[in-house]
Structure 1
Amino acid sequence: MRYGLPRSPSPPLVRRQPRRTSGFGLLSDSESEPEEPLSDADRTPSSPSSLSDSVCFESDGECPAISPSTRRPPRSPSERRHVEETVAAIRLRTRHHDPYEEWEKQTRKDALRTARRDHADILLETREQRARGRDLDLKLLAAKHEQQMVEVQMLLSTLKLKQQSDLNQLRVQWNEQDRLQHERIERGIRIEEENHRKKLEAERKKREEEERQMKLEEERRLAEEEKKRHEEEQRRKQKEAEEAAQRARDEAEREKRASLAAAEKRKNILGITPPDDDWVYARQVLKNLKAGPMRIVKADGAFKPQWNAIRRQITPKIGQLTQDQATIMRITNQILELVHPQHALPQPLYLASLSSLAKAILLQAETEVTAEKKSAIPLALVTANLLERLPVFSDVFFAKLVQRSGGWPVPCVIPSTDVGDAQWEEVARKKAMGYRVSNGEQESMGDYVTRISGIMRVYFLVLVASVAKPLDNMFRLPRYWTYFSRMLNDERLLSTAVAAQLLYTALDVGGMEAKHVWGKQWVKLLELLYEAATVGIGGKSSTLLGGQTPEGKAACVRVQLEIENIVRSP
């Protein structure tokens, strides 16, 4: 505990005898307390420097004068009494002797000595017990070893007898096998000789039969030649008549094909094609891509390293996309330099690079767009720029889109047979429908709907994107109208949860833009869709848009709300 006392004014420096103090900085017991109040000079504590100095001044004239303002005022009686009581308490504390503490210290020492003695006895007893245990274990082990030795000797004797018996038995078997083998060889030689004799006899009979057949064949040939001449004359006359009829049929067929081609050309110009034809076209492009360029590049030792290098550079660039327009143009130009440089890549390598580029875009859509819808905008802008500037990329991208999403980009129901009327295998059909199959297990419906929705959001954004020149028919704005009309014409599609979610995604992306383009016609189409979501598909209350699954019901409600927002907007 510290005590703060006011500082008194410093007296003139005078050499004084040092006072004896105790170990705690107090006066010794031999010194008596001053009975009279100390003067200011006596009360002033000496500074550390003054105690250590050996030179002091006797008078004020020998030292510099001290300003009166620095002198300490005298202590009051209460302060002096407080100091004296404090000093007395400290002195009493230093002289106090506690018998209980002395007894406690002695008790601890006695307990420690007793514990050490008991511990030494216990260690000695433990060592003796361990020694007796080791001796007993050694005796038991020696007896066990002796018993095991006897057993091993008996076992070796038994094995030796058994080995000798087995050797004798093997000798008998070997002799019997040698005898049987000799008999089998002799029997085989006799059979071969008999077969050879029969073969010679058969060849002789065959030659005789062939000679007889040759005679008959010659007679038959002469008769057939005569018959052929007659038939040839008949065929010539009949062919002339058929050719005349065929020319008439060909002329009619050419006229029919010309009319169909003109109608098909008009449909292509307007973007009107059957949904199944679009799916077949995309499927055929995919098969040709895998069977042609992809197989060539993977098998060619020169193309494959270049293709791998292009793939490794495409993936991080697609993943660096942001909303910044400058970043979008920069990444677009970098991808164009990779895939379509000034010195054109060989055709197989170029098509394989386009396939890898399309796959990277779709994988990015599956991962990023499902987590954040806004990330689809820069991805769709880059895709539109590449579709505008890369030759053949539109066909490759749509084929890969159908591969990853099934028939939903068309939209259409996957047919019962593959291209070329090939029968589906179960796993191949699931993949063609856009499902992911891993270790024989198909992904859940929720994951499937979310992934397809992310991919199709990018596709719908490409349809409504602003480009410098028109894209392929598959990626133009009229395709947006075609998508809704095809979906409304197929009740099988409307009754699925995927269709409801994709319709909501399409309305969220381009519903307002479509209203500005097609006006009242678009509102009429939305009325049909709203009826399917509220009343039922085709007016049937039992079948609503999206079906009865939880995903379908949620998507149906979202479609209703989105249609209401579009119709109410100016």
Structure 2
Amino acid sequence: MEDTLAAVRRRLNHVDPYEEWEKETRQDAFRVARKKHAQESVQQKKARSERRAQEDERRAALHEQQLKEVEAQLAAMNLQKQREEEQLRAQWKERDKQLWQRIDAVIKVEEERLRAKQEAERKKREEEERMKREAEEKKRQEEEKKRKEEEERKRQQEKEEEEKRKLLEAEREREERDRADEKERKALGHTTAFEDWKRARETLKSMKNGPMKTVKADKTLKSIWSAGRRAITPKIGQLTNDQNAIMRISHEIVSIVRPTQPHPPPVYIALLSSLAKAILLQAETEVTAEKKSAIPLAQVATNLLMTLEGFADIFWAKLCQRSGGWPVPIVVPSVDTDGVAFTQDTRRKVLGYRDAEETTAEYSNRVSGLMRVYFHILVAPVNQPLDPIVRLPRYWAFFSRMLKEPQLLESPVAPQVLYTALEVGGLLAREVWGQQWVRLLALLYEGVTVGYHGSEGRLIGGQSPEGIAARVRVQLEIERIMNAS
């Protein structure tokens, strides 16, 4: 035992490097392990703390969310409760309203029933009164209509009788004047207004019943006439205010009407009629719109009147046909040249109206266009004598005859035609007739300002708007002529 113990003691006090190294290694490992353990413990503790904090935050957030959800549910429940309460209150109000509406409807129905009954009774009374009034008014209107018809019939009869009386009086006065001036007139070779009108009427009748009838009945003659007529119309439409063009067109028309190989006499007369008609139709359309277009038209007509034999008679007849008695001038008689009395329609046609619908204003403008061409023909310079019906002395005869015919002066057409005549030839007439023309203008001026034939207030053109306007133009034109140097 003692040896063993001594060995142990020796052993215990012996320092073995390996053992020391192993011991130190174990201690180092232990220390490292303890340090690592301590660090891991700290980390684990820290991680647990963080997880706990995160969990707390999550729980707090969840709690807050759940709290909000609960509050939202409570708010929704409160809102739903309020809505239900409002809905209930609205339903109660609606029920109360419907109840009162039914009550009011019942009351209204009763009131409407009573009102309808009263209204029906009122309408019945009014209808009875209206029917009674209508019956009385109808009776009164029928009586008034009968009375007016009777008055109108009497007035129309009196008017016709007055017109007939005036016409007969004018014819009687004209005949007396014609008889009084017959010797002097025959000595001078002058014609009366009636003779001039008769010339136009008889020429027109003889032309229609003679050459025109013959041409229209013969196909060969009609084809020649139609070809010539178609050639004439465009020539008249091509007129311009150019002397070369006027002379050229005049020669071309003469060549058509009077070719180298003469036409048969009926065709020649028919072509003259078509030529006159073309000139007058052009005057009605173009001259009415533009006054200056009358000048070349009148120059061509003058050239043809100097060249074509018999054209003056036919032109005069067609002019009077389209403008009545104004070219003469004359009050168209109540009977034709053959003694046959005119009807209302035939006399209107003889007066120159185109149709039953043509108004006085339209008629006046158309006649003015025709007469403008005629007056330009009268004042046109010529190098050979023309038929007296288209010579300058007719210009003076026109005014003297107009101022002698009160029935013509009453028409609203009169001042329009007089103005046209003055505008075309007033200055030339002053140069030709001098003081006599001035005296005639004085009478005319008195007629448009004071009254004609010594009757104050009885003005030329009457009181129609057309007559008043034309009368003012006549007055201004006379003043222009008298003031011209």
| TM-score computed with the length of structure 2 as normaliser | 0.62
Secondary structure of 1:424's aligned partner: coil
User: For 1:38-187, what aligned pairs fall within 5 Å after superposition?
Assistant: none
For structure 1, the 5+ residue unaligned runs are 1-259
8 Å CA contact retained: 2:443, 2:452: no
8 Å CA contact retained: 1:499, 1:546: yes
Structure 2 CA distance, aligned partners of 1:446 and 1:462? 25
- What amino acid maps onto 1:346 in structure 2? P
> RMSD value over aligned CA atoms?
1.5
State the 1:539 CA deviation. Answer: 2.0
8 Å CA contact retained: 1:496, 1:545: yes
8 Å CA contact retained: 1:515, 1:522: yes
Structure 2 CA distance, aligned partners of 1:551 and 1:317? 34
State the 1:549 CA deviation. Answer: 0.4
8 Å CA contact retained: 1:271, 1:473: no
Structure 2 CA distance, aligned partners of 1:267 and 1:310? 40
- Structure with more of its chain in helix, by fraction: 2
**Residue 522 (str. 1) matches residue 432 (str. 2):** no
**Residue 313 (str. 1) matches residue 200 (str. 2):** no
Give percent identity, aligned residues only.
Answer: 58
Match of 1:493 among 404, 408, 413: 408
Partner in structure 1 of residue 388 of structure 2? 473
Partner in structure 1 of residue 249 of structure 2? 331
CA-to-partner distance for each residue in 1:98-127, whole Å, 9 max, x for gaps? xxxxxxxxxxxxxxxxxxxxxxxxxxxxxx
- What amino acid maps onto 1:494 in structure 2? L
- What amino acid maps onto 1:396 in structure 2? I
Structure 1 CA distance, aligned partners of 2:205 and 2:359? 27
Secondary structure of 1:470's aligned partner: coil
8 Å CA contact retained: 2:294, 2:373: yes
Structure 2 CA distance, aligned partners of 1:381 and 1:283? 25
**Residue 558 (str. 1) matches residue 473 (str. 2):** yes
Secondary structure of 2:219's aligned partner: coil
State the 1:470 CA deviation. Answer: 1.4
Structure 2 CA distance, aligned partners of 1:282 and 1:265? 23
Partner in structure 2 of residue 543 of structure 1? 458
Structure 2 CA distance, aligned partners of 1:302 and 1:360? 22
- What amino acid maps onto 1:562 in structure 2? E
Match of 1:452 among 367, 372, 388: 367
- What amino acid maps onto 2:396 in structure 1? W
Structure 2 CA distance, aligned partners of 1:265 and 1:546? 33
8 Å CA contact retained: 2:427, 2:481: yes
User: For 1:385-534, what aligned pairs fall within 5 Å after superposition?
Assistant: 385-437=303-355, 441-534=356-449
CA-to-partner distance for each residue in 1:482-511, whole Å, 9 max, x for gaps? 000000011111111111100000000000
Structure 1 CA distance, aligned partners of 2:411 and 2:183? 34
Structure 2 CA distance, aligned partners of 1:442 and 1:272? 38
Structure 2 CA distance, aligned partners of 1:333 and 1:556? 40
State the 1:268 CA deviation. Answer: 5.9
Structure 2 CA distance, aligned partners of 1:270 and 1:369? 35
Partner in structure 1 of residue 267 of structure 2? 349
Structure 1 CA distance, aligned partners of 2:460 and 2:424? 19
Structure 1 CA distance, aligned partners of 2:248 and 2:466? 39
Structure 2 CA distance, aligned partners of 1:447 and 1:489? 26
Structure 2 CA distance, aligned partners of 1:270 and 1:558? 34
CA-to-partner distance for each residue in 1:82-113, whole Å, 9 max, x for gaps? xxxxxxxxxxxxxxxxxxxxxxxxxxxxxxxx
State the 1:541 CA deviation. Answer: 2.1
- What amino acid maps onto 2:359 in structure 1? S
Structure 1 CA distance, aligned partners of 2:448 and 2:377? 26
8 Å CA contact retained: 2:325, 2:332: yes
- Which runs of 4 or more aligned residues in structure 1 lie more than 4 Å from their structure 2 counterparts after TM superposition? 263-266
**Closer/same/farther in 2, CA of residues 310 and 426 from structure 1, 3 Å limit:** same
8 Å CA contact retained: 1:406, 1:434: yes
**Closer/same/farther in 2, CA of residues 547 and 360 from structure 1, 3 Å limit:** same
8 Å CA contact retained: 2:416, 2:467: yes
- Asked which structure has the greater CA Rg, the reply is 2
State the 1:265 CA deviation. Answer: 9.4
State the 1:269 CA deviation. Answer: 7.3
Structure 2 CA distance, aligned partners of 1:271 and 1:310? 36
Secondary structure of 1:442's aligned partner: coil
**Closer/same/farther in 2, CA of residues 467 and 265 from structure 1, 3 Å limit:** farther
**Closer/same/farther in 2, CA of residues 479 and 269 from structure 1, 3 Å limit:** farther
CA-to-partner distance for each residue in 1:529-565, whole Å, 9 max, x for gaps? 0001111011212310111000000010000000011
State the 1:516 CA deviation. Answer: 0.5
8 Å CA contact retained: 2:409, 2:461: yes
Structure 1 CA distance, aligned partners of 2:359 and 2:283? 19
| TM-score computed with the length of structure 1 as normaliser | 0.53
For structure 2, the 5+ residue unaligned runs are 1-177
8 Å CA contact retained: 1:271, 1:478: no
- What amino acid maps onto 2:383 in structure 1? A
Partner in structure 2 of residue 85 of structure 1? none
8 Å CA contact retained: 2:375, 2:424: yes
State the 1:520 CA deviation. Answer: 0.7
Partner in structure 2 of residue 59 of structure 1? none
Secondary structure of 1:338's aligned partner: helix
- Higher relative contact order (Cα pairs below 8 Å, separated by 6+ residues): 2
Partner in structure 2 of residue 361 of structure 1? 279
State the 1:428 CA deviation. Answer: 1.5
